[in-house]
Each structure stands twice: as structure tokens, then as C-alpha cells.
Amino acid sequence: MSEVNEMPVANRAADAGNMLKGLRDMPESRLILAILIGSLALAWQSEAFLSAVNIRSVLLGFSFIAIAALGQLVVVITGRIDLSTGSTMALSGMVTALALVAGAPVPLGVCIGIAVGGAVGAVNAFFSVGFGVNAFIVTLGSLQVARGITIGLTEGDTVTGFSDLFLDLGSRTVYGLPIPVWIALALLTVFTVVLRYTGFGRELYAIGGNETAARLAGVNIRRHQSIVFILSGMMAGLAGVLLTARLGAAVSNAAFGYELVVIASVVIGGASLSGGAGTALGVILGALLIGLVNNALVLLVVPTYWQQTFIGAVIVAAALIDRMRRL
């Protein structure tokens, strides 16, 4: 009788052990642990960290990076990189602002901004995929071009005067979370499903893992590479539109340097710069960790120039971690 009673207990213990092992083996488990430890340490150091205003600020800042980083992820999975993210965000936000001021309805203005981002991605794909120019060089050039166009459209002036409906996109809270956060979570679901459960997602990993083998297996390399660049541009465009709504103004230097933070989020999230690895959840957690670090630097009153230094160090560390993972 005692043996019968002990069996369910043993089974439950085994199930619990398997569950803990599964959580420990998750690629994102270390990120989750780092975020929890960082949050506890910051809450201990600063009472302001757990305030509703600060938490909302952290989540908003994280959401813009996360949305753009999801687009960057699919490019990195194929073994390439998109350096034009920040400038694309600024350009999309500026064009959306000009369209709204000219009288365009908010939904149309948002679609225009996303389309502008997609157009930048299409240009990147045209030169990188169509002509075989290194993606680093192409996107570095489009970074400068997009930023120059953003400044030239208004000669450096700020565009304001948006409707409350548009401003709500960047600041309104729904069920306790800002709208950009809900959008980031929705995109997390979409990207996870596409990358994990569709043939297109598996083919992206195949391209990044071994492009020659993927081509011999019948994967349309050029089409997939073009799609990911366009998708990266569209995600940057969406992030730029939401950032403009959050700021309540379109400025020519918006999202300056965001491309570095976005790339760092992708690499910290577990993606490999050599391609073939990375998850949407990892990218979201990587963006959240960077958002947490930025918030810590602000709450601890670290001078701005040291904040920039720290972010640069994080990027170098992320690249080093990626290299160590591949050894």
C-alpha cells in the first residue's frame, strides 16, 4: 500500500525535475535570470525603479527597440546585417508626420510610414541581393542617405501638431500596458510562429547555417534575402512611427544610434552574427535587458557620456559572447 502511495509522489518529483531541467536548458533562461537579478538590484538601489511612471517608461523605451530588433533578427539569421535601422526609423517618422500635418488620416499616415521603411529595405535588397554588394556597405550607405533625406525634408525643422488619435498610439495605456508594448508582444507571437513553425522560417535558418547547402536543397536564396531586408525596413518604419507618436514631434535626429542598440539586442538575445541562430523571444528579452540597463544608468545619475560608453561596451561584449558561442 505504501509503495502505491509513493509512486505518484515519485512521478511528481520526476516531472518537477524535468520541468526545471527544461527551463534551465532554455536558450533564454540566462537572460531571464539576468533581468530578474538586475531588477532586484535596481529596486534595492533606487526606490523610483518600482514606481508606475518608471516602469511605464522602461516598457515604452524597450518596445521601440524590440520592434525594430525583430526585423533585424530575420536579417541576422540569414548571415547579414542592416545598419540603416535608426535612420529608417527617423525617415519613416518624419514622412508620417508630414503626411498627417498635410491632412492624411492617421491609419493612412501609419501605413505610409511603414511603407517608407519597406522602401528603404527594398533599396538595401536591390543593391545587396541584386548586385551582390556587401550588406554592411549597402546599409551603411543607406543609413547616411536616409538620415540626409530626413533632414532635407524639413531643413532640420521639427514637425508637430498631431491629432490626439495619433498621439495615443505612443502613450495610451490599455490594460496597464502602453500600446507600443502590446504591438511588440503581438509581433513576438507572429515572428515566433513564422520562424519556428513555417517552411519560410526554417529556410531562413538554413540559409544562415549553410547558404550553399540551402541553395542545393532548392531554397530561393535571393527571394528570401530580399524579403528579410524589406521586413527589417518595415519593422523599423513601424518603430519610427510609434516613436514619433510617443515624442509628439518628428525630429531629424530621432533614433540616432538606434541601429547599434538594436543589433546589440539581437546578439545579446542569442542570435549569431554569422547566421543560422536566434529566436524572437531572445531578441525581446535582449531588448528588455538593454532597456533595463539604460534605466539603471539614468536612475543612478550616470553622466550621458558614460552612458554612451557603456552601451558601446555592451555591443563589444555581445560580439565577444557571439564569438565564444561559435568556438
pLDDT of residue 282: 93
Per-residue pLDDT of the chain (327 residues; tens, 9 = 90+): 555 555 555 555 555 455 444 445 456 788 888 889 888 988 888 888 888 888 888 899 889 999 999 999 999 999 999 999 999 999 999 999 999 999 999 999 999 999 999 999 999 999 999 999 999 999 999 999 999 999 999 998 999 989 999 999 998 999 889 999 999 999 999 999 999 999 999 999 999 999 999 999 999 999 999 999 999 999 999 999 999 999 999 999 999 989 988 998 998 888 888 899 999 999 999 999 888 888 888 888 888 777 778 777 877 777 777 677 666
In-domain check, residue 149 = yes
Q: Which residues of 66-102 are buried (b: 16+ CB within 10 A; e: fewer)?
A: bbbbbbbbbbbbbbbbbbbbbbbbbbbbbbbbbbbee
Domain extent, residue 59, equals 29-325
In-domain check, residue 213 = yes
Q: Dump the DSSP string for 262-298.
A: HHHHHHHTT--TTSS---HHHHHHHHHHHHHHHHHHH
pLDDT of residue 22: 47
The closest of 97, 114, 109 to 158, measured between CA atoms, is 97
How many domains, in total, are found in the chain?
1
In-domain check, residue 1 = no
What nine digits make up the cell of 132?
551582390
In-domain check, residue 159 = yes
The closest of 169, 191, 188 to 180, measured between CA atoms, is 169
Is-contact 35 253, C-beta < 8 A? no
The closest of 225, 236, 273 to 126, measured between CA atoms, is 225
In-domain check, residue 258 = yes
pLDDT of residue 7: 52
In-domain check, residue 15 = no
Q: Residues 6 or more apart from 216 whose CB is under 8 A from it?
A: none
What nine digits make up the cell of 177?
500596458
In-domain check, residue 13 = no
How many Å apart are CA 167 and CA 179, to the nearest integer?
Answer: 11
How many Å apart are CA 83 and CA 108, to the nearest integer?
Answer: 27
pLDDT of residue 309: 80
The Cα angle at residue 191 between residues 185 and 196, in degrees rounded to 5: 125
In-domain check, residue 254 = yes
CATH of the domain at 77: 1.10.3470
